[in-house]
Each structure stands twice: as C-alpha cells, then as structure tokens.
Amino acid sequence: MSARRGYIAGIAGPVVVAKGLSGVKMGEVVYVGEDQLVGEVVRISSNYFTVQVYEDTSGLRPKEPIIATGKLLVAELGPGLMSVTFDGIERPLEEVRKQIGDFVSRGVKVNALPRNVKWHFKPLVKKSVKVEGGDVIGEVQETPLVIHKIMVPPGVDGSITWIEEGDYTVEEPVATVERDGEVFEIKMMQEWPVRTPRLFKKRLPSEVPLIVGLRVIDTFFPVAKGGAAAVPGGFGTGKTVLLHKVAMYSDSRIVIYIGCGERGNEIAEMLEEFPQLKDPKTGHPIMERSIIIANTSNMPVSAREASIYMGVTMAEYYRDMGYDVTLIADSTSRWAEALREIAGRLGEMPVERGFPAYLPDRIAEFYERAGRVVALGSPERVGSVTILGAVSPPGGDFNEPVTIHTLRFVGAMWALDPELAYRRHYPAINWLKSFSQYAEIVERWWAKNVSKDFQQYRRKALRLLTVASEIESIASIVGESALPDNQRLILLTSEILKEGFLRQTALSGEDVFCQPRKQFLLLKMIMDFFDKTYVLIRKRVSIEEISRMPEVFEMMRVKEDERGIKAVEELYARVMKKLDELAEKYGLTLGGGDMRG
Amino acid sequence: MDEWIFRRDILRCFHGKLYRGAREIKGSLMFVDGVEDAAYDEVVQIYGSDGKERTGRVLETKIGEAIVQILGERAGLETDVLIKFTGSTFRIPISEDVLGRIFNGRFEPIDGLPPIISYEKREITGAPINPVAREYPHDFIQTGISVIDGMFSLVRGQKLPIFSVSGLPHNMVAAQLARQATVRGEEEGFAVVFAGIGLRNTEADFFIEQFRETGAIERMVAILNLADDPAVERIMTPRIALTIAEYLAFDLEMHVLVIMSDMTNYCEALREISTARGEIPGRLGYPGYMYSDLATIYERAGIIKGKKGSITLFPILTMPGGDLRHPIPDLTGYITEGQIFLSQELSVRGIYPPVNVLPSLSRLMKAGIGEGKTREDHRYVADQLYDAYSRGVRARDLARIIGEVGLSERMKRFLKFAEEFESNFVNQDPYENRPIEETLNRAWRVLSVLPEEELVRIPRKMIEKYHPNYGGG
C-alpha cells in the first residue's frame, strides 16, 4: 500500500492542523513531520483535519509531511507485557532508554512487544477442533507468576488445520484456522483499539471483596472485585502511598498501575520496590504480575490522555484470560486536565471550570470498563477488572467537576482528609465522608469466610464513630471533663478504634497487611470492650478507672504485635477477664465475651 | 550555523528568513502575516525602527501566519519592524565557564564579562528524564537547620518548595540552606544555580552577597530576572537555570542545588501570556495547562542511574494572600515531593526559621534517614515530635476557648511541650549550623518534658539508649 501523505498547515502546542489528505478516519494514527512524531486524528473537516500529537512539537514547521497509517490507536497484546514499564502509547521505556539514552526525546519508534524473543507455546486444543473468537488454544508461561492464555482473536472462526508446540516469536503463527477454504494464521500477538472496550459474553454481579489488607477499607469501605472506587484527596494526604500499598498487597492476580501525570520519582520508587517485594503465596517478586504505565507530569500531555485507555485495554485482555485484574489510575484528574487542555486547543466550548461538556461521558466510559465478566469462547473463564482511580481535586475541595462526576460512576469512595494527614493518621481515609455500595454485598462473603457476626460489629463500630464525632464537637467547646461518663466512654472507645484499628502503617512490619480474620478479631475486641464497659459505667464505675487500665493502651498497639492473631486472642481474653474482675469488685455480672464469634 | 545566534554581529550577516512588518502587536504578542513555515517554538530576532533589537519566540504557526511572543522591552515598538526567523528553537551555549557568572533572563551576561561561547548548545525546554532511568533518591542532605533535618529531611534529587508569605524570611532560609547544605561524608559542597524570577533588586543583591561572603560564588551560577525586567522573560529564567543545572549535574557530575525565587512571579507571567493569547482561562485566570507547565520545570530535578551528579530543587513561592488553596501553591504541592510552610504567627513571635510544622512534609524523608544514614532513632523521634506537637497545638487552641485552667493535666503537659519545642528545637540562629546528632539530641531534650509513658511512638530500647534520663540527649 502506498503511503498516504498530507502536509502540516498549522501548529499550536500539541495540536496540529493538516491538509492535503482525504479519507482519514477519526482516531487514525498518523506520523507527523520529518521526525515522524506519533499523533491521532481528533477532528475531520471537509478540507482539513486536526491531529493531537503525542510528543513535543517544538521545531515542527508548516508544510512538513503527515503520513496516515490507516490504523486506529491500538494496544499490542501478547506475551511480553508483564513486568514491563511502558509510556502512555505503549513504548517500553527500558527499550527506549537503550536506544536513545536517559532522556525521552522525540520520534523514537519501539515495538511494544519484543519481536526477537521466543516464547514456549503449549497447545491446549488439537487439530481439526472447531474454534471461534475468544477460545483458548494454548498457553505460554509469561513470567513465573503468570500463565498467558493464547486466545483466538475476535471475528476468527473455523477448524484448526495446524497447531504445534514449540518456541515462537509473537509474530510467528502458532496455529492455522480454516473456514470455507480460507486460511487464517493465529499469532500470539493481537491488536485492539484502545478506545473500544473488549467484548465479553456476559456481566456478572460483583460479590467477592478485593482484600487489600487495610482495615479501614476491607472492613468499612470495601471494593468488590469488578467494582470501581475513587480516592479523592488534596496533596499530602497520601493518595499515592495508599495506592502503592494496594498494588503491592491486594489479592488480585494482575496489577496494572498507570502513573498518569504524576511524579517521576514515584515511578522510580515502584521500580525499586516491586522487584524486591515477594508475592506471599509464591515467593516471586510482585513485579512479575505487574505492568506499569508511566506517563509522568512532564511527559507529553496527549500521551497522558491515551495512557488511561492503554492501561484499561491491557486489563481487559488479562481479564479475558480469566484473571482478577486491578487497574490503578493515579491520577484521573491529570487525565481530565489533559482532556481539557486538548479541548481548549481545539477551540471547543468549555463548560465547568474549562472542562469540555463531554467530561462526564469520558469518565463514565472509563469506569464502566470495570466489571466481573464471563469471557468469550471456551473453556468458560470468569475474570474481573477492578478500577481504583485517584482524584486530585484543586485545593482539596471535592466540589469540582472531576470529583463530582467520578463519584456518580463509582461504587466506593475513600475520601482522604488533610486533617487526618496533618495528625499523621494514615491511611487518612475519613470514616464519616467515605462510602461503599459494596459493603452490603460483600458482607455475605465475610459471613461465610470469617464470621457471621461481622456485619453486626461493622455497623456498630461505624455508628459509634459517628456518635463520637458529634460528642467531640461538643467537647471542643465545653472541655472533655464536663461530659458525662458514658459520653466519655464513647470518646475513649473511638480513640481506641482510631489508633488501634483504623490507623495502619504503610512502612513495614506485621501491620502492613492485616488478614480479614485478624481485622474481625480486633474489631470484636474493641466493640466487646465497649459493650461491657458501658454496663459498668452505667453502674457508676468511673471512666478514670477504666481509662487507667494498661489494657486500654495495649488495645491500641496489639495490631503491631509480631505474633499476629495469637496476640489479639490473648489480649482479648485478658481484657474480658479484667472487666469481669472489675464487675465483681462492684458486685455486678457481665455477659458475653466469647472469642469464638 | 546556528551556533552563532548569540553573536549578533555575525548574526547580521547570517542569511535568515527576513520579513518586514507585523500585522498587529498586542501585549507581548506579535502577529506576522505571510510567513510560510515558521517552526513552532522557533526563535526570532526583531529589529525595531527605534534601532533596538529584541528576541521573540513562535507561539503558534500556520501557513501564512506566525504568532510571535516578544521577549524583553516592548515600548517603542511599531508594526514596522524587521523580523528574522532564525531557524532554531531557543538554545543556550554551555560550558564550564558558566560557573561564577551572572546572567539575565535572556542569558546575556550582566556581570560585565563577555558572553559564553561554546559549540555545545542546549535547548532550554529540556527533555523529560525517562522514568526508568531515574534513581530513587536516598542520600540525606544535612542542612544544619534542626526543624528541616529532624522532621522534614531533604534528600539529594528531591524537589522541596518553601511556601511562604510576603514579608517572611524565606530568602534567609534559602540562603542558609545554600550555605550549609552538605552530604555527610563528602567534602565538596553543592554547586548552586540560582534563578531569581521577578526579584526586587535588594533581594537579588542579598543572595549574591550571601554567596560571595561564603566563597560559594565560584560554585554558583545566577540567572536574574529582576522585578523591572520584562515579565515574559520569567518564562525562560527557570528553564535556563535548569538547563545549566542539568549540564553541571549530568555532564560534569556535580551535585547541584537549584534555588528558584519567586515561582509566584513565574506563574503570573504565564497567566499574562495566556491572557494575551486569548486562551480559555482555568482557575483565577491561570491557564488550564499550568500544572503540566510547572511539571516541566519541577520534574527536571532528580538523579539518573549510573551518573554521579544530581539536581536538588528548592523553589520558593509566596502564597498570594497566604492562601494555600490558591492555584500556585496547590499545583506546586501536587508536583513537588513535600513542602515547607512558613508561618506568620511564629515569625511574629520571633522564631526563626518560622516553619509551620503541621502542614509541612517531606515525602522522600523515609528513604534518607535511619541507621547508617542519620541515626537509628531518627524516624521514631520525628514521629514522636510531630505527634506530641500536634497535640500541643490542639491544647493551645482549646486553651484559647476554655482557658488554660480548663485543660487536663495531660493537655497542659503537651502545651508546655509545644512551647519548649518551638523555642528550643525549631528556633535557631540564621548562621548556626547544627549537625544531625545535635539536632536529634536536642529533640530528645525537648521530648523529656513529657513523661516517658507518653513517648508511645518510640520503641523502648531507643528510649533507654537516647533519653536524657538514661544519659542520652
């Protein structure tokens, strides 16, 4: 095919107007200028079209050529994606570095998947079997942690005429399919346009929680596998640290992390930590199940816009193999700003705060690509994509378009609070402002796998925290000592909950990841303490006597005890015994306090 | 041939593309018709009918028109001008000779010495560091300022801004930092690149004098755009400074500290140009791309794997109206790795440096401290100071409402701690250089105001080793 060429008519930042070429498609990839910068067609008119360029346009001149490729912006999908760091348009950054050095300059062309690496392909179907789009025909051990299923590309069907085990590159055929005399070669690499969601058979309800090991999330504001959660917070509230921890410890099989318009050193930190951190089940570095997409804040804005779609397309691809995938986007606000900037350069009419009118649609389209689904083809596979999106509201004020529209399309919000961060209470998730629509759904999972009492304790604790915040505001006026003892007990218990349950270190040690069983025991301990003490207080035992108990401080610190669940059980027994003794001293009897729960 | 851009005499003989007459001049923008293929971002020379010569840059280009941003003085310009398109983007000649020199925002020497001549030219916009080539910063920088070293430790390759308010001694803090910053175990200090953006003359003189005094001038480069210099040059000033810093750090393998003051003036200039171009404004009229634009400055800090040098960035900005939510500090905070807040209240009470501890933060601290880097107790001590101080501040707030007598005994102790902390830990002389050990020992002495049981953030064995009650401190 002869190249279709046009020429540049005008340049303003990343937006280039071109002429002299007809029949370009919306979304078509073009190469711009002598340096062949990558761009995408974003607007077509009868005699010109507009291109958004993914690289710095300095030095570009009118009349330089533009070459149309006839292809949409696609993701290359196949073995070789895992453990690689890409930029927003899927250029492997390590490879880019090898070619052009430490700085990313323009016009560099690198394939997403290496063409010279041979993968060992094992067929899972035999010759003359009938296959159709989505069917798994074989597999490749991509990394020690990930078996890569080779699937028939959508739209291809027929019977297999040839398939053979062996070592192949991604471009070599591993099988041939014939239908009505037409032969189609199946390769390990396929392409998919990033702005189109990948197809699936049907959507399933999300009912299993994504366990992240952070108590405030798992217990109070869970996200289900296949769900979507937003993490809004001003700077310094710990968004990125929180999302890094989720990427490291959550129980999903695959993690895709999009560093979208954020700091370069944060990517450097992940690249340093991920290869060292071992997957608890297999002992392999978690890097082997992760893909990082890094389009830092100083890299071109339009590639930032594309990076989100690139990441979610990869997530869907692994979902189709039957994996639970977590997609983390840090930060979606930077992506929205990229949309705004490009819209501004295109002269589109701004609506709220300069954002284009289609912002809510774009946000909805993105979060709707989360889900738990039955994949196309056979054997039957169930996979999920869970999306966690950071939102960086200007001035930390949630009343702005990106936060508002995001909250309409997600099932959970973890609201980060600067007040908590100032007190170094991390994760700084505000328990009064956050919500999760998955809480009720995943309670069934907790009842089945942890304890049937979970739901009751969870609700009680949330209620106590709400009441405590009301009392706190009174206490800040009249002073704590002026409050009645039962209210002071609520304050004391909420203090124990905050320090001993909600607050959790992100650095290292026992408390970094908390098993669901331990989460439940800690919660039960604190709430049973409250119930028993409440009775004592009502019978005129003084709050001072309670708060002097050394066990009160121990409840705040037992989470860090290296003996784990054992230490909690032991302390629980001691607290109950101590309270019983106290009751005895005052001639009272207390019920409950059974550890079995 | 474009090696000669800055040799004007030769430039005159250079066969560039010459146009006569502008269609319109509006603010700092000039619209030139009939231009066929000006490059985006290309540098132009403008020869006015007043005999003056100015530099400009192509902001937008199409077949038949170019929009040029005029750098430098605009007064006296008419539409009847000669405009030469030089064929290249804005680049500066660079060599070792830049050390010890002072330039203006167009990279012309203002110290009376001849211009830099070199075949080595760099585009001032720079290119982003490949994220996979970055080395995660680890090396603790001792600034000799207790509150920074102890609680918001700076590491090599970090970008840590000072958020201040007009009238506070932020320049003093920056100068102290430039004088005292060292990496432990290394003889050589930092090379300092100073970008003065819209500074008053006295401020600029203060910095130069400070550097001269300590002999740091030989290891310093200053790019000065003063308050009465053209605002548009403020766009270039930090970029020239960083281009030099990159050369010193990644070519000459030096450790470079870049101080930029005042970034607020930079953002104002950005807004001015954006408005002149008729762009759709974002918050408070600042352009929607200000985040990305600031990132192309701040993100040039860092360390590259396999290279010895580093760029540590220390921008200073004054928050308009002292408002943290103003777009300038807000967007900066989203890009930089922490921030150091200065507080009017502490300054009024005579505390120097008046660092407002609670909202301040250093994100890279955890990697730079601890055994073998500073001291094993550092992290715990910092956490404990922070925790206790935040309780002390809350006690102080409460005391304002209900009176000190209404506080519980425990709260009173924290209140006393807060006073002690401010006057004996935070407060220090602008010329006092405290090694990290002294900083930590001071911290222990201040903490000993509290009963030992209250030190819940510090493991028992550290208390027994460092607490004054056990002979430490």
* pLDDT 10s digits, A443-499: 999 999 999 999 999 999 999 999 999 998 888 777 777 889 999 999 999 999 998
Cα gap B246→A428, rounded to integer Å: 37
pLDDT value at B277 more than 80: no
For B148-204, the pLDDT digits (tens) are 999 999 999 999 999 999 999 999 999 898 888 888 877 777 899 999 999 999 999
- B299, A236: Cβ pair inside 8 Å? no
B50 with B149, same domain?
no
Hey, of B58, B334, B383, B394, which one would you mutate to test binding to chain A, going by the most A CBs within 10 A of its CB?
Answer: B334
B16-41 average pLDDT score: 87
Q: Is B335 on the interface with A (CB under 8 A)?
A: yes
Q: For residue A594, what pLDDT is reported?
A: 53
Q: What is the CATH code of the structural domain delimited by A77-99+200-438?
A: 3.40.50.300
B141 with B259, same domain?
yes
Of the pLDDT bands very low, low, confident and very high (cuts 50, 70, 90), residue B394 is confident
Hey, of A287, A290, A295, A297, which one would you mutate to test binding to chain B, going by the most B CBs within 10 A of its CB?
Answer: A297
Cα gap A475→B414, rounded to integer Å: 18
Hey, of A263, A296, A331, A398, which one would you mutate to test binding to chain B, going by the most B CBs within 10 A of its CB?
Answer: A263
Domain that holds residue B22: 2-88
Q: Is B459 on the interface with A (CB under 8 A)?
A: no
- Select from B37, B390, B402 the Cβ nearest to the Cβ of A62: B37
What's the number of domains chain B is made of? Answer: 3
Question: Which 161-220 residues of chain B touch chain A by CB within 8 A?
Answer: none
Element (H, E) at A524: helix A516-538
Which among B31, B66, B88 is the end of a domain?
A: B88
For B407-435, the pLDDT digits (tens) are 878 889 999 999 999 999 999 999 999 99
Chain A hits for B396, CB-CB cut-off 8 Å, are: none
- Select from B62, B305, B334 the Cβ nearest to the Cβ of A9: B62
- A259, B61: Cβ pair inside 8 Å? no
- Select from B62, B296, B304 the Cβ nearest to the Cβ of A102: B304
> If you classify domain A450-585 with CATH, what class do you get?
mainly alpha
Q: For residue A84, what pLDDT is reported?
A: 96
B305 with B202, same domain?
yes
B458-468 average pLDDT score: 90
- The residue of chain B with its CA nearest to that of A553 is B456
- The residue of chain A with its CA nearest to that of B398 is A476
What tokens were used for A133? Answer: 């789009």
How far is the alpha carbon of B35 from chain A, nearest alpha carbon, in Å? Answer: 10
B146 with B79, same domain?
no
Within a domain: B266:
yes
B452 with B305, same domain?
no
How far is the alpha carbon of B85 from chain A, nearest alpha carbon, in Å? Answer: 12
Please tell me the total number of residues recorded for chain A in this structure. 597
Which residue type sits at B391? R
Hey, of B29, B33, B35, B40, which one would you mutate to test binding to chain A, going by the most A CBs within 10 A of its CB?
Answer: B40
What tokens were used for B224? Answer: 């000065």
Q: Could you count the other beta carbons within 10 Å of the beta carbon of residue A100?
A: 16
Q: For residue A597, what pLDDT is reported?
A: 40
- Reduced to 3 states (helix: H, G, I; strand: E, B; else coil), residue B427 is coil
DSSP labels for A202-252? EEE---SB---S-HIIIIIS--BTT-EEEEE--TTS-HHHHHHHHHHHSS-
Cα gap B217→B211, rounded to integer Å: 5
Within a domain: B393:
yes
- The residue of chain A with its CA nearest to that of B89 is A59
Element (H, E) at B175: helix B170-180
Cα gap A500→A472, rounded to integer Å: 18
- A103, B128: Cβ pair inside 8 Å? yes
Cα gap B243→A115, rounded to integer Å: 37
Q: What is the CATH code of the structural domain delimited by A119-188?
A: 2.40.50.100
Which among B34, B68, B88 is the end of a domain?
A: B88
Return mean pLDDT, chain B.
89
- The residue of chain B with its CA nearest to that of A63 is B37
Cα gap A444→A252, rounded to integer Å: 19
How far is the alpha carbon of A356 from chain B, nearest alpha carbon, in Å? Answer: 11
- A394, B36: Cβ pair inside 8 Å? no
Q: For residue B426, what pLDDT is reported?
A: 97
- Say which CATH number the domain at B84 has: 2.40.30.20
In the block, tokens 């807040």 appear at B341
Element (H, E) at A500: none
**Reported ipTM:** 0.88
Which residue type sits at B328? I
B133 with B230, same domain?
yes
Q: For residue B70, what pLDDT is reported?
A: 87
Give Dmax (Cα) for chain A.
97
- Select from A17, A93, A334 the Cβ nearest to the Cβ of B130: A93
Q: For residue A480, what pLDDT is reported?
A: 76
Q: For residue A481, what pLDDT is reported?
A: 77
pTM assigned to the model: 0.91
> If you classify domain A4-72 with CATH, what class do you get?
mainly beta
Low pLDDT (below 50) residues in chain A: 1, 595-597
How far is the alpha carbon of A35 from chain B, nearest alpha carbon, in Å? Answer: 13
- The residue of chain B with its CA nearest to that of A64 is B37
Check if the beta carbon of residue B322 is closer than 8 Å to that of residue B143: no
How far is the alpha carbon of A223 from chain B, nearest alpha carbon, in Å? Answer: 26
Chain A hits for B61, CB-CB cut-off 8 Å, are: 10-12, 61-62
Within a domain: B54:
yes
B382 with B356, same domain?
no
Question: Which 14-43 residues of chain B touch chain A by CB within 8 A?
Answer: 36-42
Within a domain: B286:
yes
- B295, A298: Cβ pair inside 8 Å? yes
How far is the alpha carbon of B136 from chain A, nearest alpha carbon, in Å? Answer: 5
Chain A hits for B69, CB-CB cut-off 8 Å, are: none
Check if the beta carbon of residue B338 is closer than 8 Å to that of residue B361: yes
Cα gap B196→B238, rounded to integer Å: 8
Question: Which 83-102 residues of chain B touch chain A by CB within 8 A?
Answer: 88-89
- A59, B406: Cβ pair inside 8 Å? no
What tokens were used for A160? Answer: 């297999």
Q: Is B356 on the interface with A (CB under 8 A)?
A: no
How far is the alpha carbon of A379 from chain B, nearest alpha carbon, in Å? Answer: 38
B103 with B78, same domain?
no
The domain locations on chain A are: 4-72, 77-99+200-438, 119-188, 450-585
Within a domain: B373:
no
- Select from A64, A97, A479 the Cβ nearest to the Cβ of B402: A479
- The residue of chain B with its CA nearest to that of A269 is B136
Chain B hits for A9, CB-CB cut-off 8 Å, are: 62-63
B13-29 average pLDDT score: 78
Chain A hits for B132, CB-CB cut-off 8 Å, are: 85, 93-94, 97, 267, 271, 294
Chain A hits for B88, CB-CB cut-off 8 Å, are: 59
Within a domain: B16:
yes
B336 with B411, same domain?
no
The DSSP code for A512 is G
Check if the beta carbon of residue A541 is closer than 8 Å to that of residue A484: no
Q: Could you count the other beta carbons within 10 Å of the beta carbon of residue A476?
A: 14
B271 with B409, same domain?
no
Residue B340 β-bridge partners = B162
- A12, B359: Cβ pair inside 8 Å? no
How far is the alpha carbon of B439 from chain A, nearest alpha carbon, in Å? Answer: 21
Q: Is B329 on the interface with A (CB under 8 A)?
A: no
Q: Is B60 on the interface with A (CB under 8 A)?
A: yes
B16 with B128, same domain?
no
Element (H, E) at B162: strand B162-164
How many contacts, defined by CB atoms under 8 Å, are there between A and B? 208
What tokens were used for A221? Answer: 């504001």
- Select from A64, A105, A268 the Cβ nearest to the Cβ of B131: A268
B184 with B168, same domain?
yes
Q: For residue B87, what pLDDT is reported?
A: 83
- The residue of chain A with its CA nearest to that of B363 is A236
Which residue type sits at A303? A
